[in-house]
Amino acid sequence: MASGAIIRSLGPYTPKFYGLTFDGRTLWATSYDTKLIYQIDPVSGTIIRTLGPYEVSPIGITFDGRTLWVAIYSPSVLYQIDPESGTVIRQIGALVQRPYGLTFDGRTLWVAFKVNRYIDQVDPESGTIIRASGVYAFDLYGLAFDGRRLWAVDFTNKRICQVDPETFTIITTVGAFAFNPSGLTFDGRALWVVDQTNNLIDQISL
């Protein structure tokens, strides 16, 4: 199967999803509109349960092996959330710009900023920005980590970019999608991306 091809799709869903992550067993998706987080079976596509609603709208989401982290677009903060109870454990921020994409590399968080088009590496304990990329020429949405490289949704050109986490250089791209991509995650074999045009979650080959 060609790189960037859709393996299969889950959905359609109501409401529209934004962020996406994988916890090793299930998918988690955020809805800005309902202020909820949805746990989803990646085989059947069934919504298992929801967390929330929260007082603010979640966008990006990632899993650190124990807890969920959620990017809050406004105010510009990150929430650490207990995936069992949905309780907000703590928050870090405030970040300078409004965060959108979010991923975890086993040690640090990576945050993509849609409007200002750059990526920050963030210490999850202190909230300190460790490093920041230069400005990209496209809107950044979802963010994922595959164990070696970052993957970032290029919303402007409807594709996914593989990014070197040391230099922030774009290594390669996959997809020339006919839909608006948003949230992004890696399941150990393939990428999953939120298709906001058709309200689907697509598994993408690499």
Spatial distance between the Cα atoms of 157 and 160, rounded to a whole number of angstroms: 9
DSSP characters over 5-36: -EEEEE---SS----EEE-SS-EEEEETTTTE
Q: What is the pLDDT of residue 89?
A: 97
Q: Which of 112, 168, 150 shows the shortest CA–CA distance to 160?
A: 150
What is residue 3's predicted lDDT score, i.e. its pLDDT? 82
Q: What is the pTM of this model?
A: 0.96
Burial 22-32 (b: 16+ CB within 10 A, else e): bbeebbbbbbb
Question: What is d(CA 77, CA 71) in angstroms, rounded to the nearest whole number?
Answer: 6
| Tokens matching residue 104 | 């975890």
Give the Cα separation of 33 and 63 in Å (integer).
21
* Residues 150, 109 contacting (CB under 8 angstroms): no
> ∠ at Cα 36 (181, 189), nearest 5°?
45
**pLDDT 10s per residue in the chain (206 long)?**
678 899 999 999 999 999 999 999 999 999 999 999 999 999 999 999 999 999 999 999 999 999 999 999 888 899 999 999 999 999 998 666 789 999 999 999 999 998 889 999 999 999 999 999 999 999 999 999 999 999 999 999 999 999 999 999 999 999 889 999 999 999 999 999 999 999 999 999 98
Q: Where are the domains of the chain?
A: 6-204
CATH superfamily of 6-204: YVTN repeat-like/Quinoprotein amine dehydrogenase (2.130.10.10)
- Return the DSSP state at 149: -
